[in-house]
Amino acid sequence: MKKVLSLIAAIVLSFTVANADEGMWLPYALNGQNLAEMQAMGCKLTAEQIFSFNQPSIKDAIVQFGGGCTGEIISPEGLLLTNHHCGLSYVQKHSSIEHDYLTDGFWAKSKSEELPNPGLSVLFLNKVEDVTEAVLKGITAETTEAEREELIAQNSKEITKDRKGERNVRIEIVPFYSGNQYILFEYDEYKDVRLVCCPPWGIGKFGADTDNWTWPRHKGDFNIFRVYTAPDGSPAEYSADNIPMKSKWYLPINLGGVKPGDYAMILGYPGSTDRYSTSYTVKNVIEEEGPAIIDCRTTKLENYRKHMDADQEVFIMYASKQASVSNYWKYYIGQVKQLKRNHVYERRQAQEEDFANWVNADPQRKAEYGDIFTGIKAKWDILDEIQKSFVYHREAGWNGGEAISFSRRFIRINQMFEDKADKADIKTAAEKLQPQVETFFKDYSMPLDQDVTAALLGLFYKNIPNNLMPTELLRIGQENNGDFSAYVAKAFEKSIFTDKTRLEKWIQKPKALDKDPLFALSMNIIESYQTLYDRYEEAQNLGNQGERLYMKGLMEMQSERNFYPDANFTMRLTYGTVEPYKAADAVNYNYYTTMDGVMAKYVPDNWEFDIPQDVRDLVADKDFGRYANEKGELVVNFITTNDITGGNSGSPVIDGEGNLIGLAFDGNWEAMSGDLSFEQKVQRTICMDARYLLWCIEKVGKCQNVIDELVIK
């Protein structure tokens, strides 16, 4: 094991980079090689200015936002910038027909107007520690994969308990390099985060589904929040007595704009990549997982739009839900297409052939690596069979219709009935769910959910083999010739989970839920899913060791390759430059877009391409102020060669002196295979220009209070 760790450490700390733009680097492991390249590109910062635990540094301005995005501190008093789509669900919760902040935007003109967001928190990183030896304690060559996972979980739990003690911190232990290394991350968690600014829909969501994951873009994808602390500066739950955070570090904003070749650095929390996976993974995504997700989400989105377009109140209820579903719907469409177009499967096969030749050339290597693909193939033989059903159980089954999904929160209470618990205890447990009932029905449309549920169950029945389908779903489908409309209508009429009054009446006098049609169906789907999950675990046990050894072997075979670890929602640094690109034959894209392009896409009363009247007036008057470029254009978006993925949404784009020049929010269509394979020639990060951000705040939102708080260069 020590040999493995030594190898990994050597590659992390001393490597030869083939493509400087590729790589999501661990910022605490920067070395002379990294810094030399960064400085050659235009970076004037030291490693300590970027990342340090001994003194304030840029890393102290970077946060995990809401458990799935990145944000950055941009003022001395805790102003936090992130993407519009990252904060959308919180804006939605504040919105109504009377106060339609989604459509009209929200602009706090003073701190007293800032809106609290229960459930929203941000994490600041304060410690990193390699705990590989402690996590893998007790594991030997004879340890089975199941035993290994159990020991890792047990050891990690003990380490977490020991490191945390009585302190109010978040501890996470994360695997790297396919489980060859484990690193502990410690965070301070701040739970009082208030909404300050949200642009109107026609800016923050401009282009919506049509433009998503594409370039050129014309989107003002930002929201601004503020982090509050207890009066002593410590993390705290929301309180009227809390004060704005005294920022340890914040990013000044550079008004100079960008040009081709300019240095661009991004720090953030990329979610997940799988760039060292085998050809079996790629094949499964192309043939099984991707198409299954696309089919389920297409069906859900079609029914969402039907109801959202007909009723503005439903639009407000479902704006965030629709955006969440559609984002990775289009992602998988693009990923499947570009995996094929960029021949990623064939490239993986060629790499595996090279690996086999390298292994067979040495008896010692052959003894260690010669048989690893036997287990890997056995793993994917199982997953290829069950993957589509696995996806359907989740996307069309227990997480498809909302009422079915919501019913799962009552499993514990139903179990109390089976265990013959005290009636008073059952009633107390039921009453504790009342806040969740309020939250659920606040943004719930029964007619929409009924249509979604019927359509998804019908799709499930149509596309999954009988032996891989929940038995209750199979029975209903056979009895109704695959048409679930009548069954779902009757179930919705009877179930307590589709009507707030019925559910609240049940809370006052709870009884067993086995006869509730949606609860019973949900339990049957979960039972069926568990059977599939058992096979999934069997597959993992067969193949995980082989994939872990394949990772180790690749790192030995390609000692000159830049083996940065796959993204796993830990802080990473990526560096590149502002550049145009050639997307296809005779298709050459410029590196920036302007407000002229926004107006060219304008379609009145269209939910994707409408523009507010006040914005159109400002454009007509060319009222761009100091935010126009030297040509008099208002630059909206630009692109860089940085390497990012989901989770980087909201990450700052930083110049060579540590100033904010943009806000990362997307990747481009031609490189949608990027989570599995970096595409050097065409991979781009799409960024909102900092000047457009400031223009929106000052001219559209008229928030001079926010402008005055920022440091603008």
**Residue 486 included in any domain:** yes
Helices (H), 136-267: 145-164, 201-204, 208-211
Give CA–CA dist 326/306, Å, rounded: 14
pLDDT above 90 for 326? yes
How far apart are the C-alpha atoms of 311 and 305, rounded to whole Å?
10
Catalytic residue (choose from 85, 218, 307, 393): 85
Active site residue 221: yes
Domain boundary among 500, 519, 540: 540
Question: How far apart (Å, rounded) are the C-alpha atoms in residues 196 and 245?
Answer: 14
Range of the domain at 466: 401-540
Tokens found for residue 480: 């109704």
Residue 251 to residue 690: CA distance in whole angstroms: 12
Residue found by looking up tokens 């503020």 in the block: 226
Query: What is d(CA 385, CA 101) in angstroms, rounded to the nearest whole number?
Result: 46
Given a cut of 80, whether residue 588 has pLDDT beyond it is yes
For residues 190 and 180, give the distance between their C-alpha atoms in angstroms, rounded to a whole number. 32
What percentage of the chain reaches a pLDDT higher than 70?
Answer: 97
Average pLDDT in the chain: 95
Quote the CA–CA distance of 495 and 506 in Å, as a whole number: 11
Tell me which residue of 657, 581, 669 sits closest to 263, measured CA to CA: 657
pLDDT in tens, 462-495: 999 999 999 999 999 999 999 999 999 999 999 9
Q: Is residue 549 part of a domain?
A: no
- Looking at residue 137, its pLDDT comes to 97
Task: Tell whether the model's pLDDT for residue 168 goes beyond 80.
Answer: yes
Model confidence at 578: pLDDT above 50:
yes
Residue 85 falls in the annotated catalytic set: yes
Asked if residue 294 has pLDDT above 90, the reply is yes
pLDDT at 19: 53
Of all residues in the chain, what percent carry a pLDDT higher than 90?
Answer: 95
Closest listed residue to residue 326, CA positions, set 283, 296, 364: 296
Angle at 275 between CA 271 and CA 279, to 5 degrees: 130
Catalytic residue among 188, 221, 666, 675: 221
| pLDDT, tens digit (0-9, with 9 covering 90-100), for 203-239 | 999 999 999 999 999 999 999 999 999 999 999 999 9
Clarify whether 94 is annotated catalytic: no
30-39, pLDDT tens digit by residue? 777 788 899 9
User: How many domains would you assign to the chain?
Assistant: 2
Q: Does 11 score more than 80 pLDDT? A: no
The values of phi and psi at residue 693, to 5°, are -55, -50
What is the CA 455 to chain-centroid distance, rounded? 27
* Domain-embedded: residue 683: no
Peptide bond into 216 cis (omega under 30): yes
Pick the last residue of a domain from 499, 525, 540: 540
User: Considering the domain boundaries, does residue 124 fall inside one?
Assistant: yes
Token pair for 572 = 């990473």
Residue 268 falls within a domain, yes or no?
Answer: no
Query: Is position 510 within any domain?
Result: yes
Residue 477 and residue 484 in contact, taking contact as beta carbons nearer than 8 Å: yes
Residue 58 lies in a domain: yes
457 within some domain: yes
Reply yes or no on whether the pLDDT at 14 is more than 50. no
Q: What's the confidence (pLDDT) of residue 29?
A: 84
Which tens digit of pLDDT belongs to each residue from 639-671?
A: 999 999 999 999 999 999 999 999 999 999 999
Domain final residue, candidates 509, 540, 571 = 540
The neighbour count for residue 234, using CB atoms within 10 Å, is 10
Q: Does residue 508 register a pLDDT over 60?
A: yes
Kindly state the average pLDDT of the residues 506-516.
Answer: 96
Q: Choose the catalytic residue: 57, 649, 651, 673.
A: 649
Q: Quote the Cα angle for 547-668-308, to 5°.
A: 105
Q: Mean pLDDT throughout 364-379?
A: 97
